[in-house]
Amino acid sequence: MAAQSRGQWGAAGTGLAVFILLMTFLVIPVGKVIYVAFVDVNTGRLTLLNFADFFNTSLFRESFVNSIYVAGMSVLFAALISMPLAYFTTRFNFAGAAVIQTLGVIPLIMPPFVGAVAMQLLFGANGSVNLLLDEHFGFTIPFMEGLNGVIMVESIHYFPFILINLSASLNNIDRAMEESAQNLGAHGLRLFRRIVFPLAMPGFAAGAALVFLKVFDDLGTPLLLNVNNMLAPQAYLRISSIGISDPMGYVISVILVAFSLLSLWTSYLATRGRDYASVQKGGGGLMKRDLKPWEKAGAWAVIILILLLVLSPHIGLLLLSFGTIWSFSVLPDGFTLAHYGEVFSTALPYITNTLLYAGLAALLDVLVATAIAYVVWRTELPGRKVLDYMGTAAVAVPGVVLGIGYLRTFHDFNLPIVGKPLASWWVIIVIALMIRRLPYALRAATAALQQVAVSLEEAAQNLGAGRFTTVRRIVVPLMAGGIAAGFVTAFATAAVELSATLMLVSAESDAPLAYGIYVYMQTAAGRGPGAALGVLAVIIVGVATYLSHRFVERTRAAHEVTARDG
């Protein structure tokens, strides 16, 4: 750790600037939201009255219970999808492992709300699947009835989080753990229950907590599925129809934030002190065995079924984007390119807005994240850990809450040149996107920085380079791959963010892609172009994800050199 007082001023200035940024655009708005929830609208005094009202109203109680139910069930189904897949890859020498790895990526490139309408058409009460079931077998399955629809869309989208964590956990288990248990007489289910599962639990719990949090906070999917008796849509509806003075929206925000923190805390507890990797020496994963032919066939059958399920929103979206009319039939009546034509002629502003907002947000993210990472890990500034906490804390703030916070804090704040309140200016959307993506960019920047050995900096300083020069010529270039990956990931996720965007878009000309999709899906003739826009969004995210992987790989290769020296 380079601890020099020279060059501290530059670092201090940077740290201060970031601190002010995060205070203004994260701490204060969220704090305000929490504060308002505890204030009596009439008297202005602190009170629990709003919460009492909330829990006294059956609609809100129902929404609260529903949100927990949906999030919990989504975790359950995501786990059900993930477990066989994790089992196949870690337990057996299975050629389909590559397929499963790809499965792990596909759902993540399409935000859940984009596929929601398509899923409705495929799995709804009179959707493709049920029409076929009814015709041939005489029964239907209520896949998409009410809350089921939300659960289905969310679990299909989020199961990779659990799959990846579970697989990693299982792969980290020292083979000797299993063998020693077998040696002492355990095998099969008992072995799994007593040894394998407890050792894999922490990783699984971390993934599950994350999924719970994300589903609990999601606004776009329930809205598009017309499910409004859940917390996030209720907050949105209250604020947008009754106004920013309605206390219920704030009460809901507090509950959302509280549960987010609870999920993160649970995840932390589950993994703390159970860092089994440090006690296990070998790794090597579970013992793999070969599959008998009928087992292989069974495994492939399960994988193909899951693959179809996972791809269904993508397939549905494609069909919808190319389809003419799709009504009460298994497939659209006909196919056309007209929707794409419309997208590229009239919907172009959505696309350009998205590129601009996401690009700016991602750029700001990597700048701020790099600054925070450097200040926290490479300087001795007092209180620098606070920046790290603030930057990471944003992950617990749902988009809805951030949006409400900005509306409340900035709607009176008129900007001089622009001539309108900050809350109505498009830049506020960029800021919201930036804050929401900051935790991920920060993680990428921190990881990238930690791969740069301190001795490399010290060598530069030993040869006469000042701190800023060292950062510019040594540290940042060596971090570049990780920074680029962070940029691309921030860009990709910002490009399809909907929750905060919905709250903050005040004029359609300022709207990005996600909003455009939402608006299009609300008109009879708009489903097709909306789907076409959705396909575009998926392509953007997919390309970005791929690029991000490439950057990370390139950095890893580049660091082979430094690793030798470090």
- Report 168-227 residues binding other proteins (CB under 8 A): 174, 176-177, 179-187, 190, 194-195, 198-199, 226
CA angle 17, 19, 24 (to 5 degrees): 100
Check: CB of residue 140 under 8 Å from CB of residue 125: yes
Q: Give min distance, CB of 191 to other proteins, in A.
A: 8
Kindly state whether residue 25 participates in binding other proteins, applying the rule CB under 8 A.
Answer: no
Q: Which of 4, 24, 102, 324 binds other proteins (CB under 8 A)?
A: 324
Q: Which is nearer to other proteins, 207 or 247 (CB)?
A: 247
Q: Which residues contact 255 (CB under 8 A, 6 or more apart)?
A: 54, 64, 231
How many Å separate Cα 429 from the centre of its chain?
Answer: 18
What is d(CA 282, CA 175) in angstroms, rounded to the nearest whole number?
7
Question: Closest Cα partner for 159 from 169, 148, 147, 167?
Answer: 167
Give least dist CB 89 to other proteins, A: 19
Nearer of residues 497 and 510 to other proteins, judged by Cβ: 510
- Range in contact with other proteins (rule: CB under 8 A) among 306-314, 321-329, 371-379, 536-544: 321-329
| Structure token pair of residue 456 | 């490399």
Q: Is 408 in the site for other proteins (CB under 8 A)?
A: no
* One of 241, 272, 462, 561 touching other proteins (CB under 8 A): 241
Q: Which is nearer to other proteins, 107 or 313 (CB)?
A: 313
Read off φ and ψ for residue 92, nearest 5 degrees. Answer: -125, 155
User: Is residue 328 involved in binding other proteins (CB under 8 A)?
Assistant: yes
DSSP character at residue 278: G
Residues 141 and 178: beta-carbon distance below 8 Å = no
Instruction: Pick the closer one to other proteins by CB: 139 or 328.
Output: 328
Please tell me the distance from the alpha carbon of residue 414 to that of residue 391, in angstroms, as a whole number.
27
- Residue in 116, 566, 160 with CA at minimum distance from that of residue 312: 116
**Any contact of residue 158 with other proteins (CB under 8 A)?**
no
Give the whole-angstrom CA distance, residue 511 versus residue 404. 17
Tokens of 386: 């606070």
Number of residues that bind other proteins (CB under 8 A): 90
Tell me how far apart the alpha carbons of residues 219 and 498 are, in angstroms, rounded to a whole number. 8
Compute, in degrees rounded to 10, the torsion defined by CA atoms 405, 407, 409, 415: 140
The single residue among 217, 246, 365, 457 that binds other proteins, judged by CB under 8 A, is 246
CA distances from 172 to 100, 146, 193, 210, 316 (A): 18, 40, 17, 20, 37
Of the ranges 2-10, 291-299, 449-457, 523-531, which one interacts with other proteins (CB under 8 A)?
Answer: 523-531
Residue 360: what are its φ and ψ, rounded to 5°?
-65, -45
Nearest to 150 by CA among 204, 249, 221: 221
**Among 13, 142, 243, 341, interactor with other proteins by CB under 8 A:** 243
Amino acid letter, residue 97: A
The residue among 507 and 557 lying less far from other proteins, judged by its C-beta, is 507
Contacts of 76 (CB under 8 A, 6+ apart): 155
Write the interaction track for other proteins spanning residues 85-124; mark x where CB under 8 A is met and - where it is not. -----------------------------------xx--x
Is 276 a residue that touches other proteins (CB under 8 A)?
Answer: yes
Instruction: Choose between 57 and 102: whose C-beta lies nearer to other proteins.
Output: 57
- 294 forms part of the interface with other proteins (CB under 8 A): no
Nearer to other proteins, 83 or 287 (CB): 287
Q: Is 331 in the site for other proteins (CB under 8 A)?
A: no
Choice between 295 and 388, CB closer to other proteins: 295
Identity of the residue numbered 421: P
Distance CA 542, CA 27 (A): 32
State which H helix or E strand residue 270 sits in. helix 247-271
258 sits near other proteins (criterion: CB under 8 A): no
Residue 282 in the binding site for other proteins (CB under 8 A): yes
**476 touches other proteins by CB under 8 A:** yes
* Residue partners of 292: CB distance under 8 A and separation at least 6: none
Rounded CA separation 118/188 (Å): 41
The stretch among 1-9, 45-53, 80-88, 534-542 that binds other proteins (CB under 8 A) is 45-53
- Among the candidate windows 160-168, 378-386, 415-423, 540-548, which touches other proteins by CB under 8 A? 415-423
Judged by CB under 8 A, which of 46, 53, 380, 566 binds other proteins? Answer: 53
Please pick, from the candidates 5, 278, 345, 462, the single residue that binds other proteins as defined by CB under 8 A. Answer: 278
Which is nearer to other proteins, 6 or 281 (by Cβ)?
281
- Which residues within the stretch 530-549 sit at the binding site for other proteins (CB under 8 A)? none
Binding to other proteins (CB under 8 A) within 372-401 occurs at none
**Judged by CB under 8 A, does residue 453 bind other proteins?**
no
- Binds other proteins by CB under 8 A, chosen from 419, 560, 564, 565: 419
- How far, in Å, CA of 101 to CA of 92, rounded? 15
CA distances from 359 to 238, 287, 346, 437, 483 (A): 31, 45, 22, 12, 14
Which window, 5-13, 82-90, 375-383, 412-420, contacts other proteins (CB under 8 A)? 412-420
Only segment of 27-35, 381-389, 396-404, 517-525 that touches other proteins (CB under 8 A): 517-525
Query: Could you say whether residue 483 binds other proteins (CB under 8 A)?
Result: yes
Of 315, 363, 447, 547, the one binding other proteins by CB under 8 A: 363
